[in-house]
Amino acid sequence: MRVIAGRAKGTRLGPVPRGTRPVSDRAREGVFSSLGPAVVGARALDLYAGTGAMGIEALSRGAAICTFVDSSRAATLAIEDNLARTRSSDQGEVVRSEAGAFLARGEAQYDVIILDPPYDLDPGILGEVLDALRPHLATSATLVLTRPTRDATDVIPVYLQVAKRLSYGDTRVLVLEAT
């Protein structure tokens, strides 16, 4: 895996921790091309961050800051390593926590929120996390949600509107906008 574009373009990211399914380079490129200038200066949140590749791509493309949240110790160590590789440590905050618990304990707002949950995550839990995101959405926030292409059910709260549906191999990406 590598950073696709921006100031850290071409930087190779570290090894993927066991049990982590990273978003492919091709899918990341498509997602961030579709987001365009919305990323520049943004406060980003990368939930279920895994390697941190999505949030690091946002930083490379001009996001001001990114908070990375993952419950796995191996993942948070990988994110810290990848932030160091891309010289972005000063722009990233790494938090080891379950997504729902993280959202429950703070009120920070974000312009760009990336959710790349495990494909086998219970839809009810995903729905709860999406509901818990509402107070964390800045005005005109954009949310990127990855799901498996084989899963036809979208659990989208009424306060979010589907702006784009993208598909890359086994990954379906929904780009959602706060209404």
For residue 102, being part of any structural domain is answered with yes
Say if residues 27 and 79 touch (Cβ distance below 8 Å): no
pLDDT, tens digit (0-9, with 9 covering 90-100), for 86-104: 999 999 999 999 999 999 9
Domain, as residue range, for 99: 26-149+159-178
The distance of Cα 21 from the centroid of its chain, to the nearest Å, equals: 13
The pTM of the full predicted model, rounded to 2 decimals, is 0.92
For residue 164, being part of any structural domain is answered with yes
pLDDT > 70 in the chain, percent: 97
For residue 4, being part of any structural domain is answered with no
For residue 18, being part of any structural domain is answered with no
**Which CATH number belongs to the domain containing residue 67 in this structure?**
3.40.50.150
Number of folded domains in the chain? 1
For residue 15, being part of any structural domain is answered with no
Segment holding 82, helix H or strand E:
helix 73-85
For residue 2, being part of any structural domain is answered with no
